[in-house]
Amino acid sequence: STFRDCLTARSGGAVSINMSSLDVTSSVFESCTATGSLSCGQIVMSGSRLAIAHSRFSGIESQDGVVQVTQASGVWVSESIFDRLQVHDARGSLYAAGAADGVQTMSISSCAFTNCSTASTGGAVSIAMASVDVALSSFSDCSASGSLSCAQIVMNGSQLSMAQSNISDVQSGDGIVQVVGASSLNVSSCRFESLRVQSTRGVLYAVGSSGLDRAMTVSNSTFRDCLTARSGGAVSINMSSLDVTSSVFESCTATGSLSCGQIVMSGSRLAIAHSRFSGIESQDGVVQVTQASGVWVSESIFDRLQVHDARGSLYAAGAADGVQTMSISSCAFTNCSTASTGGAVSIAMASVDVALSSFSDCSASGSLSCAQIVMNGSQLSMAQSNISDVQSGDGIVQVVGASSLNVSSCRFESLRVQSTRGVLYAVGSSGLDRAMTVSNSTFRDCL
């Protein structure tokens, strides 16, 4: 069926129902308007089940959401197009709210959202459901200009999964994808490109439910040409754990005060593997984690990173109590620069291991800047690692509060230090035995 050139003055739309279920297939909703207060452009439903397939919504102007369903237990939207939708208030193009009790699931598959705009909170998809899956879908050329507006997906619920989907050419007043009350957020094989965020929270933002394990994974995904104006970054989360694997963060900028270039996290566990960060400019650290008990970074590349303030490329701070461990293995830091304190790696953790890693062609020009590793903690171990062609305003590797510093099978070459403290600098904790060992290592052409 086709609904074309229809106008409603108040709530309602092309289809307004209070039924248990609604199935919409192979239908068109086009060039319609709903301008009144609380008006809904095309479909407004109170019922348990909504399914939309092989349909198109285009050229629609609405005061409120274009498609709305409340009291839902299941919503399925597949192989449909949402194009040139203009929403003047909250809830965006597609809005779903679950029933107070029972199952709440939503699936969006093989859909395209293009040239959609929202003026307030909401986004292309605004959801208050427990579990949501987004797959094989695209969001492009969209904007959300209002305060706290979210351009594409905003969700209040426990589980969001995004797979094989793309978000590109989007402008938003707030985060592009947001999940509040999350227990899990999984992003796999997705692309985020040419995104502009005017405020906090960056591209992906998640806040977990208090008292629960809260896990987020990002795998086989790309973040390219993304700009954030304040704190946040590509991924901004308050979750228990974050795993990033086989992903790329490239040609992104975060220039505002306290902005973080790509990942900012408050949580206990961060793991990054087989990933690349390159061509990034940030006011503060490119990757930051606080309240951490464990940080693992392996087989990853940090290249052409420019940090204007403190904390360098990778910053980790441990929780006030409990275990604090960090491992950097088989990583390469190249052509990275910091302008103030920090370095390629800036750490406030008790124990750190660096192995099979390299730091080269980097600079730290500010007063008291440390070009590669600066640590406030008790134990640092470096093994089979190289630092070369580095210029620093202060020591190349620094450990304050150390009980042990062990360097084995490492190479330090063509290093230039403009001030005191040399290449390796360690200050032990008072009242403790403090030991340093250097074995099977080479220092060459250091000034």
pLDDT value, residue 378 = 84
The H or E element containing residue 225 is: strand 222-228
What's the token pair of residue 318?
Answer: 């441990």
For residue 441, what are its two tokens? Answer: 């290592």
**At residue 26, does pLDDT exceed 90?**
yes
Compute how many other C-beta atoms are within 10 angstroms of the C-beta atom of residue 152.
30
Report pLDDT for 439.
98
Stretch 62-73: mean pLDDT, rounded?
A: 87
Residue 371 DSSP SS3: coil
Band the pLDDT of 422: cuts 50, 70, 90: confident
Please give the single-letter amino acid code of residue 171: Q
Q: pLDDT tier at 365 (50, 70, 90 boundaries)?
A: low
Q: Looking at per-residue confidence, does 364 or 227 come out higher? A: 227
Q: Are 176 and 207 in contact (CB under 8 A)?
A: no
Question: What is the separation, in whole angstroms, between the first and last Cα of the chain?
Answer: 78
Inform me whether the pLDDT recorded for 10 exceeds 80: no
**Pair 305, 339: CB distance under 8 Å:** no
pLDDT greater than 70 at residue 108: yes
Distance of CA 287 to the CA centre of its chain: 10
pLDDT of 356 reads 98
User: Is residue 192's pLDDT more than 60?
Assistant: yes
User: pTM for this one?
Assistant: 0.93
Which of 16-20, 161-165, 417-421, 435-439 is the least confident region?
Answer: 417-421
Question: Which pLDDT belongs to residue 255?
Answer: 63
Q: What is the number of alpha carbons within 13 Å of residue 321 lying toward its C-beta?
A: 0
Q: What does the pLDDT average to over 374-393?
A: 90
Provide the pLDDT for residue 146: 65
Cα atoms found within 13 Å of the Cα of residue 72, Cβ hemisphere only: 28
Checking phi first, is residue 240 left (phi over 0); if not, alpha (psi -120 to 50) or beta? alpha
Q: How many CA atoms lie within 13 A of 307 on its CB side?
A: 39
Q: Which residue has the higher pLDDT, 261 or 423?
A: 423
Q: What is the mean pLDDT of the chain?
A: 86
Beta-ladder partners of 277: 249, 302
Confidence band (pLDDT; 50, 70, 90) for 339?
confident
pLDDT value at position 88?
79
Looking at residue 369, its pLDDT comes to 60
Measured CA distances, 425 to 11, 224, 279, 358, 401 (Å): 70, 37, 30, 19, 11
Is-contact 61 35, C-beta < 8 A?
Answer: yes
Residue 164: name the closest of 124, 212, 125, 221 by CA.
Answer: 221
Question: Which residues lie across from 134 on neighbouring strands?
Answer: 108, 162
What are the percentages of helix, strand and coil residues in the chain, rounded to 5?
0, 60, 40
Mean pLDDT: which of 16-30, 220-234, 390-404 is highest? 16-30
Q: What is the pLDDT, as a whole number, of residue 110?
A: 98
Residue 353 is which amino acid? D
For 316-339, what is the mean pLDDT?
88
Tens-place pLDDT, residues 202-217: 788 888 877 667 899 9
Distance (Å, rounded) from C-alpha 34 to C-alpha 10? 7
Mean per-residue pLDDT, 59-69? 86
Domain that holds residue 362: 2-446
- Asked whether the predicted pLDDT for residue 18 surpasses 70, the reply is yes
Percent of the chain with pLDDT over 90: 38
Give yes or no for a contact between 371 and 363, defined as CB atoms under 8 angstroms apart.
yes
Whole-angstrom Cα distance, residue 190 to residue 221? 5
Between 56 and 372, the more confident residue is 56
Of the candidates 309, 387, 314, which has an alpha carbon nearest to the alpha carbon of residue 352? 314
Tell me the per-residue pLDDT of 225-269, one tens digit each, with 9 for 90 and over: 888 776 667 888 888 899 999 999 998 776 666 566 688 888 889
> Is the Cβ–Cβ distance between 320 and 295 less than 8 Å?
no
Spatial separation of the C-alpha atoms in residues 405 and 326, rounded to whole Å = 15
Number of domains making up the chain: 1
The CB density around residue 390, as the number of other CB atoms within 10 Å, is: 26
Calculate the dihedral angle through the C-alpha atoms of 424, 428, 434, 436, rounding to the nearest 10 degrees. 0
The fraction of the chain above a pLDDT of 70, given in percent, is 87
What is the reported pLDDT for 263? 86
Q: What is the mean pLDDT of residues 148-177?
A: 85
Residues near 128 by Cβ (< 8 Å), separated by ≥ 6?
96, 97, 98, 155, 156, 157
pLDDT number for residue 351: 92
- Give the span between the Cα atoms of 298 and 79, in whole angstroms: 39
User: Rg of the chain's alpha carbons, rounded to an integer?
Assistant: 25
Exposure of 189 by Cβ count < 10 A (0-12 exposed, 13-18 middle, 19+ buried)? middle
For 296-324, the pLDDT digits (tens) are: 999 999 999 888 776 778 888 888 777 78
The CB density around residue 64, as the number of other CB atoms within 10 Å, is 24
